[in-house]
Structure 1
Amino acid sequence: MPTQLAPARELAPPGRERLPTPRLYWLVAAGLVVLALVTGVAAVADVRERSALLTDVAEVKAPISVDAQTLYRSLAEADAIAATAFLSTTGESATLRTRYLDGIARASTALTVALRDADDDETARLRVVAEQLPVYTGLVETARSNQRHGVPLGGAYLREASGLMQQTILPAAAGVFDSTHRRLVGEQEEADGFPWLAAFFGALLAAALLWAQVLVARRSRRTFNLGLVAASGVTVLALLWSVVALGASTGRLETGPGSPAKQVLVLANAGRAALQARANESLTLVARGGGATFETEFVSQLDELIGVDGQGGLLAAALAETEADSRVAVFIDQARTEANQWRKLHQGVRAADNGGDWNRAVELATATGEQDLPAVFTRLDTALTGALAAGNQQVDGQTGGAGSALTGLSAGFVLLTVGLMVAVGLGFRPRIGEYR
């Protein structure tokens, strides 16, 4: 059996005292243990912060955003229904009346919920909605009362109500939705960020372990130190686990262009544009020849929705960022088809109205056939609602998937950190004992 070599005793350079090897080992071991602890704390803190952000997105920010969507959409829908109901030549439609009241009720409920979780800026906007919504409904009721009694002022009250909705209430609601959506996307992007602090300490620890092994090999004349090799293995395992888990989490949580969260923003605006266009289409007829401004708004909003000559628009933008075989893409395709058909039918309404046949124009705008304008708009609205719901489901699914990828990582880092510190201690203990 070969004789074990004693640790080399090196002479200190002239004029400078050499740090005794046992004390050097103690200092290196203590430094590695502290560095391992700091690295473990940084890694655990990063994972817990990411998990907390993803939980907040799933349980707070996403529901708040959906509530803001509901408020935004319900207000626009109620306004569109109120204007459409006013065109009836056979008396008020019970169905449309119920839908209008349901829209106002949903908006009121969403408003109450949104106020509970809003920040200061959102609260200011929501107060505008809360203060002006009763004014709006009062104007609508006055318009209905005048219409039932045959008073011509009914149309004027309805136009005033719709103006209040489109110029004051909806912009305030849109501001709330944009704000809540930015907060949601912001937290997603933060949860998707690179762990710079943990990565820095991890790289520093790996370099320190390599340096320590070289130091011990030179001083002890042994090539390998099993404890330090084991510590290095634990470090590599922790780094690999981090790369896999964080990579999976990042891969499931899309935050760039075309992400579900950003598609939701486009689809919500598309739904708003469609509903406002429908309201302005009806108001053009309610004005009986004085609705040029409403017609201009209609054209602008329909162009915003599907572009000019079928090119561009919100629906095209949403479709370009959506996977071709996804549910969202199917709904968007349906919506584009119905929107283009709506534009053709609207041209017939305008031709009759501009030609002096107002009754014919109203008949075309309110006919009940499957290929008539109301049915086409209903299918368009249903498709947009389906696309928005599917987009929200994708946001929820990705957030949940990103969170599940981090499951066990925090506890794993704690165990690996403890194992690494133990391995460092076991690696240096026999080397220090050689000098006793």
Structure 2
Amino acid sequence: MANPPNVREPETRESAARVAAQRPGTHRSWAETREQLRAAATTEPGRLWIIGTVVALLLVAFGGVTAWEISDRSAAASDVVNRSQPLSADAASIYRSLADADTAAASGFLAGGQEPLDVRKRYDTDIATASRLLVKAAANTTGSAESAQQIATLNEQLPLYNGLVEQARANNRQGFPVGGAYLRFANQKMSTSLLPAAQKLYEAETGRLYDDYDQADTWPYAATALGLVALGGLVWVQRRNYLRTNRVFNHGLLAATAASTVVLLWLVVGHAVASSDLSTSRTHGQESLKVLNDARISSLQARANENLTLVARGAVLNDKGKDLYEASFTKEMASLSDQLGAAVKLADDSTGKAPVTKAKDDMAVWQERHTAARKTDDSGDYDGALTQVLGAKGSTGECFDQVDQALDSAIAHEQHEFTTAASDGRGALTGLPLGAAVLAVLAAAGAGVGISRRLAEYR
């Protein structure tokens, strides 16, 4: 008699579970979990448990991502206020101090062997300020290779420049003509080494500032999306509950919805307010400061070139055969005019516009007096031209001082505008990361309580 054919036992849930039990631990656990979920999904209590778990995880994820993204934006806003903008301002001050020192050196040289005490003090103060700010910048610009390179260049070249100025002074006191050559060489080093390095340092630090602005202003898309999904899930669960039980409210789910709504509104409104304030600080604060700093530097360089025109007495020509320093003066005054015009447009109130308008008026008088001084010098009256440039009253030096003081007032006002707006932007995010995390946990707990009340009805 033939052996009966092998009959394979039908696959059932019990046999599948038995086969899974014979597999390695990891596969067995996954199979058991899958079977449990499949079985749970066929009953209303099981579905409720799955729904509650998913909603709770969504709410916790919403709170965690919100706390993470807003902490990142808040840190960037704090960097704008406390690190990158002050470093950018310090870099601008380094540039201004160096340019002013060059102007003071030329003014002191023109005054003769007995350099005026106030001019010497101004030069010494500028050099000391630049040195101090370089030390500060070196300590705070960690991670920026470009900034470190420019700081090294400035630290290397500044003592050399100072030495050339001292040589010019020593020869000028003894009446040696070579003093003028030393001063022109010092100005060349300032123009070709120190000021370009200071400009690159300023641009690098300002670039970092704008990077922090962009990071702080980036919208928290992930947190917003999770918040909408979590709220949508809560609304769906409550509608499902209503359709199955005719109960309008589930207190736990209602509390979870309220907490999630608060977090989402806090996120949207808080970040929108912060973004608006930071945008204001950038447009009406930082952008104005940048233009005003550029204008002040142009005025300083124009003044230095004006002085050097008298020091060189036409001995230095450009590639077009014209007086190098007079041509540079004309170029810097044109830049100053453009920058003052831009500063007037950026100023958003009368307090900011008034000093800039005054600087424009003083600049116009400066140009008129400079033209008169050049005519006097060209006619052979060097001493008369010197008085028109360095005199206390009615000189171009008086106009330069007035322009510098007006720009200083405008910069102080715009710095205050920046600090106020940027601090408000940072403040709009204060407390949001912690608040979002706490409310999200409470929302998850509320959802859990609401679902557990429904589960209790099946026991």
TM over 0.5: yes
Partner of 2:27 in structure 1? none
- Partner secondary structure for residue 279 of structure 2: coil
CA contact (8 A) 2:285 2:417 kept: yes
Partner of 1:320 in structure 2? 345
Residue 300 (str. 1) matches residue 331 (str. 2): yes
Worse overlay, 345-354 or 207-216: 207-216
CA distance in 1, matches of 2:336, 2:125: 25
Q: Which amino acid aligns with 1:149?
A: Q
**After the TM superposition, which residues 97-112 of structure 1 pair with which residues of structure 2 at under 5 Å, given as runs?**
97-112=120-135
CA contact (8 A) 1:67 1:114 kept: yes
Residue 209 (str. 1) matches residue 240 (str. 2): no
CA distance in 2, matches of 1:171, 1:258: 26
Residue 63 (str. 1) matches residue 86 (str. 2): yes
1:181 to 203, 206, 210: 206
CA contact (8 A) 2:90 2:133 kept: yes
In the superposition, relative to structure 1, how do residues 412 and 25 fare at CA in structure 2: closer, same or farther (>3 Å)? same
Partner of 1:284 in structure 2? 309
CA contact (8 A) 1:220 1:431 kept: no
CA RMSD of aligned residues (A): 1.9
Residue 238 (str. 1) matches residue 234 (str. 2): no
CA distance in 1, matches of 2:59, 2:109: 73
Partner of 1:196 in structure 2? 221
In the superposition, relative to structure 1, how do residues 58 and 324 fare at CA in structure 2: closer, same or farther (>3 Å)? closer
CA contact (8 A) 1:62 1:396 kept: no
Q: Displacement of 1:34 after TM fit? A: 0.4
**After the TM superposition, which residues 330-341 of structure 1 pair with which residues of structure 2 at under 5 Å, given as runs?**
330-341=354-365
Partner of 1:367 in structure 2? 391
Partner of 1:5 in structure 2? none
Residue 43 (str. 1) matches residue 66 (str. 2): yes
Partner of 2:146 in structure 1? 121
Partner of 1:13 in structure 2? none
Q: Which amino acid aligns with 1:67?
A: D
Deviation per residue, 1:21-61 (Å, 9 max, x gap): 11111011000000000000111112222222222222222
CA distance in 2, matches of 1:116, 1:18: 62
Partner of 1:3 in structure 2? none
Q: Which amino acid aligns with 1:168?
A: S
Q: Which amino acid aligns with 1:238?
A: V
2:278 to 253, 263, 267: 253
Q: Which amino acid aligns with 1:157?
A: Y
Q: Displacement of 1:267 after TM fit? A: 1.3
CA contact (8 A) 2:284 2:417 kept: no
Partner of 1:388 in structure 2? 411
Residue 270 (str. 1) matches residue 301 (str. 2): no
Aligned length: 413
CA contact (8 A) 2:282 2:418 kept: no
Q: Displacement of 1:208 after TM fit? A: 1.2
In the superposition, relative to structure 1, how do residues 17 and 93 fare at CA in structure 2: closer, same or farther (>3 Å)? closer
CA distance in 2, matches of 1:387, 1:166: 26
CA distance in 1, matches of 2:41, 2:179: 100
CA distance in 1, matches of 2:448, 2:218: 34
Q: Displacement of 1:260 after TM fit? A: 0.9
Residue 148 (str. 1) matches residue 179 (str. 2): no
In the superposition, relative to structure 1, how do residues 124 and 255 fare at CA in structure 2: closer, same or farther (>3 Å)? farther
CA distance in 1, matches of 2:109, 2:202: 29
Q: Which amino acid aligns with 1:75?
A: L
Partner of 1:435 in structure 2? 458
**After the TM superposition, which residues 10-89 of structure 1 pair with which residues of structure 2 at under 5 Å, given as runs?**
19-89=42-112
Q: Displacement of 1:199 after TM fit? A: 0.5
Q: Which runs of 5+ in 1 are unaligned?
A: 1-15, 307-312
CA distance in 1, matches of 2:184, 2:117: 21
Q: Which amino acid aligns with 2:59?
A: A
Among all aligned residue pairs of Structure 1 and Structure 2, give the percentage whose two residues are the same amino acid.
33
Partner of 1:419 in structure 2? 442
CA distance in 1, matches of 2:390, 2:225: 67
In the superposition, relative to structure 1, how do residues 79 and 225 fare at CA in structure 2: closer, same or farther (>3 Å)? same
Q: Displacement of 1:223 after TM fit? A: 4.1
Q: Displacement of 1:133 after TM fit? A: 0.9
In the superposition, relative to structure 1, how do residues 356 and 32 fare at CA in structure 2: closer, same or farther (>3 Å)? same
Partner of 1:4 in structure 2? none
- Partner secondary structure for residue 430 of structure 2: coil
Residue 357 (str. 1) matches residue 388 (str. 2): no
Q: Displacement of 1:247 after TM fit? A: 2.5
Deviation per residue, 1:173-204 (Å, 9 max, x gap): 01111111121222123212211111111111
Partner of 1:9 in structure 2? none
- Partner secondary structure for residue 247 of structure 1: helix
- Please say which structure displays the higher CA radius of gyration: 2
Partner of 2:428 in structure 1? 405
CA distance in 2, matches of 1:223, 1:116: 63
Q: Displacement of 1:90 after TM fit? A: 6.8
CA distance in 1, matches of 2:139, 2:438: 41
Q: Displacement of 1:404 after TM fit? A: 1.8
TM-score if structure 1 supplies the norm length? 0.90
Q: Which runs of 5+ in 2 are unaligned?
A: 1-38, 317-322
Q: Displacement of 1:273 after TM fit? A: 0.7
CA distance in 2, matches of 1:48, 1:305: 41
Partner of 2:163 in structure 1? 138
Q: Displacement of 1:116 after TM fit? A: 1.4
Q: Displacement of 1:219 after TM fit? A: 3.1
- Partner secondary structure for residue 283 of structure 2: coil
CA contact (8 A) 1:76 1:170 kept: yes
Q: Displacement of 1:392 after TM fit? A: 2.2
CA distance in 2, matches of 1:43, 1:114: 34
- Partner secondary structure for residue 253 of structure 1: helix
